Amino acid sequence: MRNLLDFILKNSHSFLFILLEVLCLVLLFRFNNYQGSVYFTSANRFCGFVYETTSQVTGYFHLKAINDSLTERNIKAEQELVALRRQVMELSGDTVKFDSLTATVLQGFNLIKAHVVNNSLNRADNYLTIDCGSSDGLLPEMGVVNGLGVVGIVDKTASHHALVISLLNSKSNVSCKIKGREYFGYLRWDGKDSRFSWLRDLPRHAVCHKGDTIVTSGYSAIFPEGIMVGTVDKVLDSNDGLSYLVRVKLAVDFGRLNDVRIIFRKGMEEQQQLEKEIQ
Amino acid sequence: MLSSLQHILWVVGLVLIQAVFFNHIHIGGYATPFVYVWLILILNKNINRNILLLWGFGIGLLIDIFSNTLGMHAAATTLLAYVRPFILSLFVSHDSQEDFSPGVRVMGIGRFTGYVGIGVLLHHIVLLSLDAFSLFYWHILLAKIFSCALLTVLCILFIEFMRKGK
């Protein structure tokens, strides 16, 4: 007994080492299954405060580039609007019809404004921290977009900050389709280049060309149909040869995210509560 | 000589700098310096090994919380704290009983670089392998490990010379 105690005391650092490493691995592998773990993320109050302060400074650095791309998109959208308005006018000769058309696109969806305070690009699983939380009405599983396209999905929420799974994360699956052709697949990142992601499971008979636009399919409750994701960059065969694998140039530049919007459907809370009760 | 209070100040400062600055550097898309390992490497040579381990775990956990990688940095830094006495004994003669904190000033640039290099490489192998756990691109992993390690060692030497210059 005495020898045993001596042995343990003499090697206490080795036992402590094993104990701490086991603790680390438990934390590492259980982190994502545990909703309460938001306090161990950058969305907790203190980290959120630190990142918010720094992003108030660094937010100015990319402002010019962000402004340029928004202006460009605005001009494009305005030209499209003028063309469409003219077409609707020609077809129906009625302006009331047009107003009711625009109202139906985002019908039933709400937007909340937020700032990205922390962001990563080069890990296998990337997350964003935003300065909105449950006190602003955020819930896990809400979609996050910016002016250019889809950014990610809310994962965990603290009272004033939230953790968002970015598209650049092996855990993010977004159902997407080719605009105008309705063939759909799911988008998942491969951990390499932050400018590109991969659309998988696109059927063999689908028609797909370089430059085609990829948008959300609207099959899940998270994103409404038709939000920009990116453009087709390269079409390859999947490993099993049963479907296409499409390299998608992402519309959002994850290197300089600043303003984002959280998008959610009215009645989403009710649906989630119902689903929870069923489980 | 570093007093405990001084070291705590360094920890707070360097963890914050790591979180808001170094974590956002990606040279060539790969290389990110993890300068905070310096905090473990410069702790006093004769420090109690249990306390050294707790320092490693604590600092790693703080970095994890800031970068949403719970357990990853803590595991790597705890391992570094465990093997540090072995690495240090490779570069310091066994009979030197004197109490000192490893640094350029006491060890000389050659031996200090070797000591930091081995420690940092070991830490980065564990850290980046855990990060790439679900991916099998071993050549990207290797490129990341060596580019990050090189950058970290350069940053640590820079800090050391800044302190020496004072």
Closest approach of chain B CAs to the CA of A101, in angstroms? 42
Out of A25, A41, A170, name the one closest to residue B68 (CB): A41
Q: How many CB atoms lie within 10 A of CB A8?
A: 11
| The domains spanning A63-169+256-266 and A174-252 adopt the same CATH topology | yes
β-pair partners for A52: none
Is the confidence at residue B8, as pLDDT, over 70?
Answer: yes
As a whole number, mean pLDDT of residues A20-30 equals 86
Domain positions in chain A are 63-169+256-266, 174-252
Query: What's residue A208's pLDDT?
Result: 85
Angle between helices A12-30 and B49-67 (to 10 degrees): 10
d(CA B157, CA A28): 31
Average pLDDT of chain B to the nearest whole number: 86
- Cβ atoms of A152 and A85 within 8 Å: the answer is no
Query: What's residue A117's pLDDT?
Result: 87
Closest approach of chain B CAs to the CA of A184, in angstroms? 25
Listed residue (B67, B53, B58, B59) closest to B23, CA to CA: B67
Answer whether A20 sits within 8 Å of B130, measured CB to CB.
no
| Residue pLDDT, tens place only, B102-127 | 888 888 888 999 999 999 999 999 99
Query: Which residue of chain B is at minimal alpha-carbon distance from A155?
Result: B68
Task: Please report, rounded to a whole number, the percentage of residues in chain B having pLDDT higher than 70.
Answer: 92
> Does B53 reach chain A within 8 Å, measured CB to CB?
yes
d(CA A244, CA A208): 9
- Indicate the residue type of A229: V
Tokens describing residue A183: 């063939």
CATH no. of A63-169+256-266? 2.40.10.340
3-class DSSP state for residue B56?
A: helix
Is the confidence at residue B59, as pLDDT, over 90?
Answer: yes
Closest approach of chain A CAs to the CA of B28, in angstroms? 10
Lowest pLDDT segment from A26-35, A75-84, A208-217, B118-127:
A26-35
Tokens describing residue B10: 């360094």
As a whole number, mean pLDDT of residues A153-164 equals 89
Query: Which residue of chain A is at minimal alpha-carbon distance from B28?
Result: A122
> Does B137 reach chain A within 8 Å, measured CB to CB?
yes
- Cβ atoms of A205 and A185 within 8 Å: the answer is no
Average pLDDT of chain A to the nearest whole number: 82
d(CA A180, CA A214): 9
Best of A9, A122, A170 to substitute, by most chain B Cβ atoms within 10 angstroms, is: A122
| Residue pLDDT, tens place only, B33-46 | 999 999 999 888 88
Answer whether A27 sits within 8 Å of B74, measured CB to CB.
yes
Quick one: CATH architecture of A174-252? Beta Barrel (2.40)
B chain contacts of residue A40, beta-carbon cutoff 8 Å = 64-65, 70
As a whole number, mean pLDDT of residues A213-236 equals 86
Answer whether A54 sits within 8 Å of B67, measured CB to CB.
no
- Indicate the residue type of B28: G
Tokens describing residue B143: 């490129």
Query: What's residue B161's pLDDT?
Result: 86
Is the confidence at residue A34, as pLDDT, over 60?
Answer: no
| Residue pLDDT, tens place only, A113-155 | 888 888 888 777 888 999 888 888 888 888 998 878 899 999 8
Closest approach of chain A CAs to the CA of B75, in angstroms? 5
As a whole number, mean pLDDT of residues A58-78 equals 79
